Amino acid sequence: MNIPVAVWGTGNIGRTAIRSVLAHRALDLVDVVVHDRAKVGRDAGELADVAPTGVAATDDVDAVLARAPGAVVYAATGDTRPDEALADIVRCLRGGAHVVTPSIFGLLHPATANRRLREKVEAACREGSTSFYVSGIDPGWMHDILPLLISGVSGRIDEIRMQELFDYSTYDAPEIVRDVIGFGKPLDDVPPMLIPTVPTMIWGPMLHTLAEGLGVELDDITESIERRELTEAVDTVQGRFERGTQGAFRFELAGIVAGEPRLVIEHITRIAPGVAPEWRAPVDGRAGEHRLIIEGRPRIEMSIHATDGSDNPADGGNATAAARLVNVIPALVAAPNGVLGTLDLAPVVGGGLGAAVATRDPRP
């Protein structure tokens, strides 16, 4: 019997999560939760740009939980509304639905998570006999399943470096791009994501997960952050970003093992191509790229690009994050109840081989 799944949210992650659930051979889409009243009653297929599904979007969460979904993909943002997102997730867990989400970074590595946060979610899991899992792409599978898998074909390992190279010129999420990561702000205005210790709070759990998977201990995690200003104004899907404001940043988070930086997460992020030309850029003029580099013998370097049928390069990354969460659901349902990390789950593979999910007919 397939697992009934509800998707909460129809933004960048929610839309592609709907498509992934529809494609998965062991899952059935039964509900879609929306906040925008204009979306209530619309078919999930229309919202996700696929053929009609017969599932109408709703804003009645009580009714959704009363229908007892086996799992909820919680795709509503937690970046700008962490308390509300946590309350929603706890509500689902207590209501008997397992939850997967990219929205609560603090629980990416449960063993090192904030105790109060973990205990609150654990209590909801006990009450509802449910389980909870957080992932994404970065932070997410780029820092756990990928490097751990490739480490299995490595000999001597001197360093594992995980890079995200990305420009946000086509990423239409102004509350994130302008307010959270600070593009368009003066350089003397430190945006929330680049405040010292915040990168460790967000990405540190992934270094702990990787270290645990490799069987090593972290002595420490160090941060370094650099920022560059725009030398001329640029225009993007979000409008104009003025000269003299933040146009690029680079940060490096290093996991120290036996006194040496052995596990490194590096981000080079631009508001448009060509900004900060002294820093590494994606190959072939692409807007986004993830790279895994294992220094050692042999030296291994791999580059990953994902697309999702649109001109927006961010859509491919969002699709992989959503698919990772959706594919985890069968393993999560079968696992012990509680807050789980990647290393607590059985290996996860895709469930959509050969799936036929028709795209939406663009004709009226």
Q: Please, what are the domains in the chain?
A: 3-137+317-344 (3.40.50.720), 155-297 (no CATH)
Residue type, 331: A
Q: How many other CB atoms are found less than 10 A from the CB of residue 333?
A: 14
pLDDT digits (tens, 9 = 90+) for 106-134: 999 999 999 999 999 999 999 999 999 99
Q: What values do phi and psi take at 147, rounded to 5?
A: -65, -35
The C-alpha atoms of residue 181 and residue 163 are separated, in whole angstroms, by 17
* Own/partner pairs, 52-55, CB within 8 angstroms, 24+ separation: 52/360, 53/18, 53/22, 53/29, 55/29, 55/30, 55/31
Quick: pLDDT tens for 185-233: 999 999 999 999 999 999 999 999 999 999 999 999 999 999 999 999 9
Dihedral of CA 70/319/239/195: which sign?
A: positive
Q: Which residues fall within 8 angstroms of residue 296, CB to CB, at 6 or more apart?
A: 154, 155, 156, 157, 158, 159
Handedness of CA 201, 137, 18, 178 (dihedral sign): positive
Note the pTM of the prediction, 2 decimals: 0.92
Q: DSSP class of residue 178? A: I
CB 95 within 8 A of CB 113: no
Report strand pairing: 220-229 vs 246-257.
antiparallel
Side chain identity at residue 332, one-letter code: L
Q: How confident is the model at residue 364 (pLDDT cuts 50, 70, 90)?
A: very low
Determine the pLDDT at residue 175: 83
Q: Listing from the earlier edge strand, what are the strands of the sheet with 260-270?
A: 220-229, 246-257, 260-270, 156-167, 288-297, 300-304
Span 339-349, pLDDT tens digits: 999 999 988 99
The CA distance from 291 to 97, in Å, is 35
pLDDT band, very low/low/confident/very high, at 283 (cuts 50, 70, 90): confident
Q: Which of 231, 227, 153 is nearest to 191 (CA)?
A: 227
* Mean predicted confidence (pLDDT) in 283-295: 86
